Amino acid sequence: MATCGEVLVKLLEGYGVEQVFGIPGVHTVELYRGLARSRIRHVTPRHEQGAGFMADGYARTSGKPGVCFIITGPGMTNITTAMGQAYADSIPMLVISSVQSRSQLGGGRGKLHELPNQGALVGGVAAFSHTLMSAAELPGVLARAFALFQAGRPRPVHIEIPLDVLVEEADDLLDSEPVSIARAGAAPAAIARMSQLLAGARRPLILAGGGAIDAAASLTRLAELLQAPVALTINAKGMLPSRHPLLIGSTQSLVATRALVADADVVLAIGTELAETDYDVTFAGGFEIPGALLRIDIDPDQTVRNYPPKVALVADSHSATEALLVELGKQPLSERDSAWGTTRAAALRNALEQQWDAPTRAQTLFLETLVQELPEIVIVGDSTQPVYSGNLTFNPERPRRWFNSSTGYGTLGYALPAAIGAWLGEASERNARGPVACLIGDGGLQFTLSELACAVEARTPIIVLLWNNQGYEEIKKYMVNRAIEPVGVDIYTPDFIGVAKALGCAAEAIDSVDGLRDALRAASDRQGPTLIEIDQAGWMRAVQA
């Protein structure tokens, strides 16, 4: 007899799931009954929040949904922060949890791990939450989840299975087939209208977000055809290589870039929310799009939020950009402004280069050193100063090489577990495992420090780059700038080198560019994780000497 839990594992295999993150508990053991016989690898984090962040990182590098097995009650309350981060960044995540038996749901009888309404708790950080009331519903609800991941705006999905349903006989479901859904194509009428406006533009510009990440090649061709400068959100970095003459980076919050956007007569926004943390991180307003705005998004609701469009298209970004290329190839393009395109983009890059202050330059040198030593590195960031600088100054060569939690939902502690998941996603996506670095501050690392043990156990050779400024320095500056006496920001800093070694990691502190290079080379040769501690003050002294 195959139980519902065993059939679930088989169906997940059918959908191509290779990795599950979870902490077994008495309410989830039936999810594990068939796992050992499957091809799915299981990784045990040290906290359910870590499981969610690992699933998030896995999804970002592999392009596949990250899957978690989570216990009732505290497991679900623990993972909601990670679900919130994934929800904000449109990351596919499947959270499968247990819940009380059907007769006990909402009973308030003090059952182990009981919540009044677990589905309602996670409803705000999930595309949907479904309670499986019989094993027969399982293929259908999984089809709903993967249809969303494949063809809609990908966000977390929560499926809770009552304890009695988990053990229900489900032999008749063993032959269930996975469902494959194609994304929406581009409506010809909207493509024709957008093409007409883009062809007639003298100063076109493209704003691309993480929703367009799989359209990098076609979007690059479109930008070159139109001679349109391209601004990328943080999650879209790498869609154009770093030295592409039309790339203006991720500097939409800066005055010079805003002026360029305001000068554009037609703006194509594709796969982007046009939201505060990518376009107005000063939180003071001022980002404007006076030109004709064209929006392409897989989510119809998103096409009209924040900035209303002249023309909107609900479609997959790749099919839409390919359709625009075909349609534009049928008509002549208006003469472009002679000071536009590569000329204006180069002038902007030069102007920005002149305005970076000493800390930004020092932190950018740090990031450039990483890439010089490890060209294929994936940098997973937290909310810490080199990440803030890199969001403005750093441009990777390919997509899915730079992502972090400093924008959008903005949680701390993300980078370490997300880097573990990202390395596993890299392994899933490619035969060769590329290097993955976690870039995190001393404050953020203390949120999820225990996941170093998971990295050792899972044999993930991530490189933890600890930027140590002995506290919450960015918040301290913010308090001072607002004439608030700093409180709670000068926190105790432990001996991270000693802690990392105690947990089984290699660890060392560096104080120079050469020291960083040596440490990176040594870390890349190891089979397990390495922690490299960089004292902020020491780094500044070294690079300015």
H, E, C per residue of 23-54: CCCCCCHHHCCCCCCCCCEEECCCCHHHHHHH
Asked if 440 contacts 415 with a C-beta cutoff of 8 angstroms, the reply is yes
H-type helices in 356-463, by residue range?
358-373, 385-393, 415-429, 442-448, 451-457
Residue 209 has pLDDT above 90, yes or no: yes
Query: pLDDT tens digit string along 229-279?
Result: 999 999 999 999 999 999 999 999 899 999 999 999 999 999 999 988 887
Residue 403 has pLDDT above 80, yes or no: yes
Helix or strand or coil: residue 472? Answer: coil
Neighbours of 485 (CB within 10 A): 6
> Alpha-carbon distance 196 to 200, whole Å?
6
Report DSSP state, residue 446.
H
> Alpha-carbon distance 298 to 281, whole Å?
25
Superfamily of domain 356-544: Thiamin diphosphate (ThDP)-binding fold, Pyr/PP domains (3.40.50.970)
Query: pLDDT tens digit string along 460-518?
Result: 999 999 999 988 888 898 899 999 999 999 999 999 999 999 999 999 999 899 999 99
Token digits for 372? 């010089």
Residue 405 has pLDDT above 90, yes or no: yes
pLDDT of residue 433: 61
Q: What is the CATH number of domain 4-173?
A: 3.40.50.970
Query: pLDDT tens digit string along 56-67?
Result: 999 999 999 999
Domain locations along the chain: 4-173, 188-350, 356-544
Superfamily of domain 188-350: TPP-binding domain (3.40.50.1220)
Asked if the domains 188-350 and 356-544 are classified in one and the same CATH topology, the answer is: yes
> Alpha-carbon distance 419 to 233, whole Å?
20
DSSP 340-382: STHHHHHHHHHHHHHH--HHHHHHHHHHHHHHHH-TT-EEEE-
Query: pLDDT tens digit string along 417-440?
Result: 999 999 999 876 544 567 999 999
Report DSSP state, residue 414.
-
Mean pLDDT, to the nearest integer, of 147-163?
A: 96
pLDDT of residue 431: 44
CB burial of 203-235 (b: ≥16 within 10 Å; e: otherwise) equals bbbbbbbbbbbbbbebbbebbbbbbbbbbbbbb
Asked if 472 contacts 415 with a C-beta cutoff of 8 angstroms, the reply is no
Mean pLDDT, to the nearest integer, of 291-301?
A: 96
CB under 8 A, 24+ apart: contacts of 342-347: 342/227, 342/245, 342/246, 344/229, 344/260, 344/263, 345/229, 345/245, 345/246, 345/247, 345/248, 346/245
Token digits for 202? 């003298």
As to burial, measured by CB atoms within 10 angstroms (0-12 exposed, 13-18 middle, 19+ buried), residue 368 is middle
Asked if 446 contacts 80 with a C-beta cutoff of 8 angstroms, the reply is no
Helix or strand or coil: residue 237? Answer: coil
Residue whose structure tokens are 């592409």? 244
H-type helices in 27-137, by residue range?
48-62, 74-88, 118-122
As to burial, measured by CB atoms within 10 angstroms (0-12 exposed, 13-18 middle, 19+ buried), residue 412 is buried
> Alpha-carbon distance 91 to 239, whole Å?
17
